[in-house]
Amino acid sequence: MQTLIYISYLTFLISRPMALRGAVTRLLSNSKKCAAVTVSRAQGTAAAASRDVEEIKIPAKAPKVSFNWRDALELEGQLTEEEIMIRDSFRDYCQEKLMPRILMANRNEHFHREIVSEMGELGVLGPTIKGYGCAGTSYVAYGLIAREVERVDSGYRSVMSVQSSLVMHPINAYGTDAQKEKYLPRLASGEILGCFGLTEPNHGSDPSGMETKAKYNPSSGTFSISGAKTWITNSPVADIAVVWAKCEDGRVRGFILERGMKGFATPKIEGKFSLRASATGMILMDEVEVPQENLLPNVSGLAGPFGCLNNARYGIAWGALGAAEFCFHAARQYTLDRIQFGVPLARNQLMQKKMADMLTEITIGLQSCLALGRLIDEKKAAPEMISMLKRNSCGKSLDIARQARDMLGGNGIADEYHIIRHVMNLEAVNTYEGTHDIHALILGRAITGLQSFTVGK
Amino acid sequence: MSGRVLVGVKRVIDYAVKIRVKPDNSSVVTDGVKHSMNPFCEIAVEEAVKLKEKKLIKEVVAVSCGPQQAQETIRTALAMGADRGIHVEVTGKDYETLGPLQVSKIMAALAKKEDAQLVILGKQAIDDDCNQTGQMTAALLDWPQGTFASEVSFDGDKIKVVREIDGGLETIKIKTPAVVTADLRLNTPRYATLPNIMKAKKKKIANVKPADLGVDLTSRLEVVRVDEPPQRQAGVKVETVDDLVGKLKEAGTV
C-alpha cells in the first residue's frame, strides 16, 4: 500500500519544481527506512499538492557510512559468498604457511617444490577448469587467489600462474581428451609440475620469429624438435613442458614434452635478482623425439600461446595489486610506528600524499579487475581489455612498491621488511607476459587501427 | 547406532580483532567487526570430519544458534566437510542474552530429534570463555561427557577420550551416545579446499526456531556492566634488594 502512495506521489511531484525532486528521490531511496509520510490524498490541484508537500515529514537520515581504507570502494560487497570463502580460506593458508618460508627462500634462492603439492591439495591450481579434479570456479575467484598468493611473493604466484594458465589451460583448451585425462588431474593435484616454452633468447616480444623447429618424421610418426627457450618459470624442476615450435608449414604449434625424453635439458639461470623464490631456467632441445599424440591438435598459429598468455595476464593483473597492497599496508604501519623529530613519520605531508596515491591506484585497479573478471565469466572480454589491466596493475604496483621502499628509508633495503623483495620481483612482473610498452602497442593498435610493432607498414 | 554426529559451531568476533567496549558500557562493539568461527569449534568440526573420513561415523551435522549471519559459520563448516547444517534462528534481545544454558537446551533437543550418536563441541568460546555448554548438554541429556579432549578414538561401542587436565593427561572410556568437547591439541583444522567450498553451496541448511524445539530462551543472568581491563600501570624501579623486599611487604604480597 505504501509503495502505491509513493508511486502516485512521484507521478505528480515530478511535474513540480526541481526542489521537490530531491525530496522524492530521498523518499524513494529511503522507502524502507522512511518515517511516517502523511498523504492526505493521492491526487489534487496544484495548490492542494503544495500543501500536501509541506506536510511531508523529513525522512530519517541514512546511517553514516564510514570510510574503510582497507577496502575503499567496498569490493567485499561485490563478491559472492563463495568467492569470499575461497579468498578467506586461501588467504589463511598463504599467511600461515607461505609467509614464514619466503624470507629464506628468497634470500637463498630456494624453490619450495612442496608448495605446488600444498596448493594442489587446496584445489587452487587450474581453478577455472571444469572437471579433471579441478574446482571449476569463477575467474573472479582465480583473480582473488592470485592476489592472495602474490601478497606473499610474486615468485610463488608465477609458479601458480604457469601451472594453471600456461600448462593446464592449453591442455584443456587445445588438447585431446586422452591428453586431458593423462595430465590434468596430476597437474591439478600438484603431483607433476609443468612449464611453458615460448620465449627464446632472440625472440621475446616477437614470438612469431621463433627459431625452434618441429620436423615431422612420417616413418616413426614423431616430431623432432630442436631449439632453445629461455626465461622459463619452473623449467629446471618441471616434469612436463608445453613447448611452442614452428612446423614445416610455417605454423606455430604446441607440443607436450616430458622430462626423460632424450635431448631435453633444462639448465637453471643463475644470477637472477627477481623472483628468486621460483626456479627459472632454459629449455634446450636437441632433436627431441616427440610422439604425435603429444601434439596439441586443436590450435595452430600464435593464437595458441596468446590464448594462454591472456589467461595468465588476467591473473597477474589481480596479483600485482596484491603485492602493492602488502607494500602499502607495510609502509603505513612502519610510518605510524617510526618516530622522527618527535612525531610518527605518518604525520608528514609527503608520507600522506604517497599513501593517498597508493590507496587510490590500488582501489581503482581492483575495481577494474573485478569488472574484467565478471566480463570474462560472461564470455564478453576482449584480449585488449586484459592487456590494458595487466599493464596498469604492473606499472602502478611497481611504482607503489618503490615508493613504499623509499618510505622505509634504510630499513627499506633489508629483506626482513619484505618490501625490497616486492620491488625486485615487480621488475620482472612488469616485464614478463608482455612488457609495459608492448601492451601499450597492443592498445595503440586497437585505438588507431595502425600497428607499430614492426618497422614496415 | 545412527552414526550421526552433531557439531556445534559459534560465530564469534575474530581472534585478531582489537575488542572495544561500547560507550554505554553495556557490551562490546560488534557492528562492522570481523567475525569468524570460534577456533575450538573449528577443531570440533575437524574431528567430526576426520571420524567420517575414517568411516567411524556416517553423517556430520553442523549446528549454529544466532541471527542470519550464523549461516556463514555453518557454511564454513560445510566447506570443511560437514554434510548438512541446522540454523537455529535467535535474534534481537534473545540473541543478546543467549548463553550456555539456552544453547545446551537447544543442543540437547536437537541431539534427541536427530538421534545423534555423538555431540562434539569446542571446549569454550573465545568471547565469553564460559566452558559450560558441553557439560550442560551432557547433563540435560544424561549422557556421559569427555571434556578437554586431546585425543578421541572409538573402542568397540565405547569412546576413548584422553583429557587434558591440570595434572597431565587423563584417559577415560565412555559409552555412546556421549558429549565430547574439543581442546586445542585435538587436531589442526584443515583449510577449506576450493572444491569443498563449491560443494558447500549445494549442501542444505535447515532453518529451525527454538520454539519448535520446545526451548525457552529466558536468561537467568543479567549483564550489569562491561568494562575494559584496567590500564597497565608503569612499574617502579628500585635500587637494592632490600628496597624490593620493603615494597613487596608494603603491597602485602610478602
User: Domain A303-448 in CATH: superfamily?
Assistant: Butyryl-CoA Dehydrogenase, subunit A, domain 3 (1.20.140.10)
Asked whether the beta carbons of residue B195 and residue A90 sit closer than 8 angstroms, the reply is no
B61-74 pLDDT, tens digit per residue, is 999 999 999 999 99
Contact B115, B141 (CB under 8 A): no
Q: Could you tell me the residue range of the domain that residue B137 belongs to?
A: 4-251
Residues of A with Cβ-Cβ distance to B72 under 8 angstroms: 81
Count H helices and E strands in chain B, helices first: 7, 11
Q: Position A422: which residue type?
A: H
The two beta strands, A280-291 and A222-233, are antiparallel
**pLDDT attached to residue B236:** 84
Interface test with B, best of A94, A95, A117, A122 (most B CBs within 10 A): A122
For residue A153, the Cα-to-chain-centroid distance in whole angstroms is: 13
Q: Give residue A46's pLDDT band: very low, low, confident or very high (50, 70, 90).
A: very low
Out of A66, A81, A122, name the one closest to residue B194 (CB): A122
Out of A66, A81, A123, name the one closest to residue B194 (CB): A123
Mean pLDDT of B150-170: 94
> Residue A40: pLDDT above 50?
no
CA B165, B166, B170, B175 dihedral sign is negative
> Residue A33: pLDDT above 60?
no
What three-state secondary structure class fits A112?
coil
> B205 in contact with A at a CB cutoff of 8 Å?
no
Domain with CATH 2.40.110.10 in chain A: 195-300
Number of domains present in the structure of chain B: 1
Interface test with B, best of A74, A87, A89, A121 (most B CBs within 10 A): A89
Q: How far is CA A37 from each of CA A20, A43, A46, rounded to the nearest angstrom?
A: 15, 15, 19
Long-range contacts of A181-185 (CB under 8 A, 24+ apart): A181/A132, A183/A240, A183/A256, A184/A126, A184/A129, A184/A132, A184/A133, A184/A134, A185/A132, A185/A133
> B195 in contact with A at a CB cutoff of 8 Å?
yes
Domain with CATH 1.10.540.10 in chain A: 75-193
Phi/psi at A24 (5° precision): -65, -45
Asked whether the beta carbons of residue A89 and residue B79 sit closer than 8 angstroms, the reply is yes
Distance (Å, rounded) from C-alpha A453 to C-alpha A444? Answer: 10
> B197 in contact with A at a CB cutoff of 8 Å?
yes
Average pLDDT, chain A: 90
To the nearest whole angstrom, how far is the Cα of A90 from the nearest Cα of chain B?
Answer: 7
> Residue A147: pLDDT above 50?
yes
The residues, any chain, with a CB within 8 Å of residue A79's CB and separated by 6 or more, are: A87, A140, A144, A370
Q: Give residue A38's pLDDT band: very low, low, confident or very high (50, 70, 90).
A: very low
Average pLDDT, chain B: 94
B87-124 pLDDT, tens digit per residue, is 999 999 999 999 999 999 999 999 999 999 999 999 99
For residue B213, the Cα-to-chain-centroid distance in whole angstroms is: 21
Mean pLDDT of A293-318: 96
Which regions of B101-249 does DSSP assign to beta strands (E)? 118-122, 145-155, 158-165, 168-175, 178-182, 205-208
Phi/psi at B203 (5° precision): -75, 150
Mean pLDDT of A69-88: 95
The two beta strands, B4-8 and B59-66, are parallel
CA B238, B242, B243, B246 dihedral sign is positive
Distance (Å, rounded) from C-alpha A6 to C-alpha A8? Answer: 6
A125-143 pLDDT, tens digit per residue, is 999 999 999 999 999 999 9
Class of domain A75-193: mainly alpha
Asked whether the beta carbons of residue B194 and residue A135 sit closer than 8 angstroms, the reply is yes
Out of A93, A134, A136, name the one closest to residue B191 (CB): A93
Residues of A with Cβ-Cβ distance to B200 under 8 angstroms: 85
- Residue B227, C-alpha cell as written in the block: 568494562
Residues of A with Cβ-Cβ distance to B76 under 8 angstroms: 85
What three-state secondary structure class fits A119?
helix
To the nearest whole angstrom, how far is the Cα of B198 from the nearest Cα of chain A?
Answer: 7
**pLDDT attached to residue A25:** 41
> Residue A29: pLDDT above 50?
no
The residues, any chain, with a CB within 8 Å of residue A395's CB and separated by 6 or more, are: A430, A436
Residue in this structure with the C-alpha cell 610506528, named with its chain if needed: A337
For residue A251, the Cα-to-chain-centroid distance in whole angstroms is: 30
**DSSP secondary-structure letter at B212?**
G
Asked whether the beta carbons of residue B76 and residue A85 sit closer than 8 angstroms, the reply is yes
- Whether complex ipTM tops 0.85: no
CA atoms within 13 Å, Cβ hemisphere of A293: 7
Of all residues in chain B, the one with the smallest CA distance to A96 is B191
Mean pLDDT of A50-63: 61
SS (H, E, C) A164-183: HHHHHHHHHHHCCHHHHHHH
- Residue A287, C-alpha cell as written in the block: 632433436
The two beta strands, A194-197 and A222-233, are unpaired
Interface test with A, best of B194, B202, B203 (most A CBs within 10 A): B194
Of all residues in chain A, the one with the smallest CA distance to B196 is A135
To the nearest whole angstrom, how far is the Cα of B193 from the nearest Cα of chain A?
Answer: 4
**DSSP secondary-structure letter at A440?**
H
Mean pLDDT of A231-235: 97
A249-294 pLDDT, tens digit per residue, is 999 999 999 999 999 999 999 999 999 999 999 999 999 999 999 9
Mean pLDDT of A344-359: 98
Asked whether the beta carbons of residue A123 and residue B196 sit closer than 8 angstroms, the reply is yes
Asked whether the beta carbons of residue A90 and residue B72 sit closer than 8 angstroms, the reply is no
Its CATH architecture, for the domain A195-300, is Beta Barrel (2.40)
Asked whether the beta carbons of residue B194 and residue A141 sit closer than 8 angstroms, the reply is yes
Interface residues on A facing B, Cβ-Cβ cutoff 8 A = 66, 81-82, 85-86, 89-90, 92-93, 121-124, 127, 134-137, 141
> Residue B131: pLDDT above 50?
yes
Residues of A with Cβ-Cβ distance to B196 under 8 angstroms: 123
Out of B32, B72, B197, name the one closest to residue A86 (CB): B197
Of all residues in chain B, the one with the smallest CA distance to A122 is B193
Q: Give residue A60's pLDDT band: very low, low, confident or very high (50, 70, 90).
A: low
> Residue A53: pLDDT above 60?
no
Ranking A384-393, A416-425, A447-456 by mean pLDDT, the lowest is A447-456
> Residue A191: pLDDT above 70?
yes
Out of A89, A136, A137, name the one closest to residue B192 (CB): A89
> Residue A9: pLDDT above 50?
no
**pLDDT attached to residue A54:** 55
Closest among A257, A183, A270 to A227, alpha carbons compared: A257
Contact A146, A322 (CB under 8 A): yes
Mean pLDDT of B117-141: 96
> Residue B78: pLDDT above 70?
yes
Q: Give residue A4's pLDDT band: very low, low, confident or very high (50, 70, 90).
A: very low
> Residue B139: pLDDT above 70?
yes
Distance (Å, rounded) from C-alpha B152 to C-alpha B161? Answer: 5
DSSP assignments along B101-142, one per residue: HHHHHHHHHHHHHTT-SEEEEES--TTT----HHHHHHHHHT
Contact B166, B200 (CB under 8 A): no
* Cβ burial A119-140 (10 Å sphere, 16+ → b, else e): bbebbbbbbbbeebbbbbbbbb
To the nearest whole angstrom, how far is the Cα of A147 from the nearest Cα of chain B?
Answer: 16
Whether A433 is catalytic: yes
Contact A253, A303 (CB under 8 A): no
The residues, any chain, with a CB within 8 Å of residue B37's CB and separated by 6 or more, are: B9, B10, B11, B12, B45, B73, B76, B77
DSSP assignments along A209-249, one per residue: G---EEEEETTTTEEEEEEEEEEEETGGG-SEEEEEEEETT
- The domain that holds B22 is classified in CATH as 3.40.50.620
Out of B32, B75, B195, name the one closest to residue A85 (CB): B75
Domain with CATH 1.20.140.10 in chain A: 303-448
The residues, any chain, with a CB within 8 Å of residue B190's CB and separated by 6 or more, are: B46, B49, B80, B81
Asked whether the beta carbons of residue A121 and residue B75 sit closer than 8 angstroms, the reply is no
- Residue B97, C-alpha cell as written in the block: 542474552
Residues of A with Cβ-Cβ distance to B203 under 8 angstroms: none
Q: Give residue A15's pLDDT band: very low, low, confident or very high (50, 70, 90).
A: very low
Helix (H) or strand (E) holding B5: strand B4-8
